[in-house]
Amino acid sequence: MSRHPNSRKKKTMNETVLETHNLTRYYGSAAAVDHLNLKVPRGCICGFIGRNGAGKTTAIKLMLGLLEPTAGSSSLLGCDSAALTPAIRQRIGYVTEGHRLFRWMTISELENFQAAFFPRQWDRKLFAEMIEYFELAKKRKIKHLSNGQRAQVSLALALAPKPELLIMDDPTLGLDAAIRRQFLEGMIELIMRQGRTVLFSSHILADVERVADRIAVIDKGRLRASCSLEEFRSAVRKVVFTFADSPPAQVDIDGLLHCRRSDKQLELTLVGADDFEVAAWAEAVNALEHHTAKMNLEDQFIEFTAPANRRKLFQWEET
Ligand code: ATP
């Protein structure tokens, strides 16, 4: 369970398994999801990230056909979300926020109940292995489990039918760091089975950074970025320029997200600026030296989705 998914082979990455076309949902006069055009290729783990109220849960429910769109459409495994057949639904796993499970059942009873919906594909061995891995007893009732343990049962239930596409809405909400890691390792385990795809929303960017190989950033219902994690990580950067005297008053460089100034330094967060453009700007403003500072995904996400930067769209499509 220690393999890092970011390094896995991407030979199955050209088929799209989840696609939305101008997907839109209004609540009253406010758009919760606004002309969302998202494509998720087969075989990836896609982190679906956005601030509170950005529209992740609404988008996920629309994708699964649990909510009706105001406009636009979406499809999963090539089937329109509004008309997902039982056969297609059997190929899709869904883990909801809060892990709603029948509280009066034991883990075993819940397994039997769920397995009945997947007569041909339920993997009892996998379910047993996961329950054992999470150190749970099958005889325990759901109501006697902690939140984290319920999350683990949810994951085992979602994985046992061996879904081709697993969609999870904030699955690790409220879990401690160790349990989150176990949970995510379970997810990696799934994806290592060739051709499986995961879309998961999360607020814990360190987790997304660890397991995702793609990200989709949603902000006020709109898709702000959809690309490989690698691409996003290298597109948003912080560059520190040092000057002999005060830095220039005007900062005129493409892709500027944020500017912080001190006595003799300018710290710029940029999107989409390459080394050549940065070096050319440094020369034009007579900087003595410039270097790229480290940013983790969380820093990048915060700068990228700062309200002041809302109009600066960075959109990267697979070539
Ligand atoms: P969080 O990260 O906080 O869970 P989210 O990204 O999942 O948020 P959504 O739950 O999809 O966001 O909500 C998007 C927007 O739609 C929010 O402004 C929310 O207030 C609004 N919204 C969601 N559900 C409803 C509803 N049933 N009625 C009215 N407005 C709603």
Whether residues 271 and 300 share a domain: the answer is: yes
Distance 299 CA to ligand 1 centre (A): 24
Residues touching ligand 1 (Cβ under 6 Å) are: 27, 32, 50, 52-58
Which atom belonging to ligand 1 lies closest to the Cα atom of 218?
Answer: 6
pLDDT class of 179 with cuts at 50, 70, 90: confident
Q: What whole-number distance in Å separates Cα of residue 264 and Cα of residue 204? A: 35
State in Å: Cα 61 to ligand 1 middle: 11
Residue nearest to atom 30 of ligand 1 (CA): 27
**Domain boundary residue, one of 193, 220, 247:** 220
Region of poorest pLDDT, from 7-21, 22-36, 157-171, 187-201: 7-21
Query: Is residue 184, in this structure, part of any structural domain at all?
Result: yes
39: tokens are 């494509």
Higher pLDDT, 97 or 82: 82
Q: Is the pLDDT of residue 3 over 50?
A: no
Confirm if 87 and 27 have CB atoms less than 8 A apart. no
Strand ranges (DSSP E) for the chain?
Answer: 16-27, 30-36, 39-41, 45-49, 71-76, 79-80, 92-95, 165-169, 197-201, 214-219, 222-228, 236-242, 256-261, 265-271, 289-293
> Residues 67, 156: one domain?
yes
Same domain, 21 and 103: yes
Pocket test for ligand 1, best of 23, 26, 27 (most atoms within 8 A of CB): 27
Q: pLDDT band for 13, please (50, 70, 90 cuts).
A: low
Last residue of a domain, one of 186, 220, 254: 220
Same domain, 119 and 194: yes
Q: Cα(261)–Cα(268) distance, rounded to whole angstroms?
A: 9
CATH number at residue 292: 3.30.70
Looking at the whole model, is its pTM more than 0.85? yes
Number of domains in the chain: 2
In a domain, 4, yes or no: no
Distance (Å) from CA 67 to ligand 1 centroid? 12
- Reply yes or no on whether the pLDDT at 202 is more than 50: yes
Confidence band of 306 (pLDDT split at 50, 70, 90): confident
Q: What is the CATH number of the domain that holds 198?
A: 3.40.50.300
Containing structural domain, residue 258: 235-305
Report which ligand 1 atom has the smallest distance to the Cα of 97. 4
Q: Hey, what amino acid is at 300?
A: Q
28, two tokens = 């009253």
Tell me what pLDDT residue 286 has.
93
Q: Mean pLDDT for the chain? A: 87
163 and 258, same domain (yes or no) = no
pLDDT at 7: 47
Strand partners, 223: 218
Is 226 a domain residue? Answer: no
Give the residue from 190, 220, 250 where a domain finishes. 220
Q: Examine the domain organization and report whether 175 and 252 are in the same domain.
A: no
Residues 113 and 192 both lie in one domain: yes
Judge if 139 and 250 occupy the same domain: no
Per the domain annotation, does 5 fall within a domain?
no
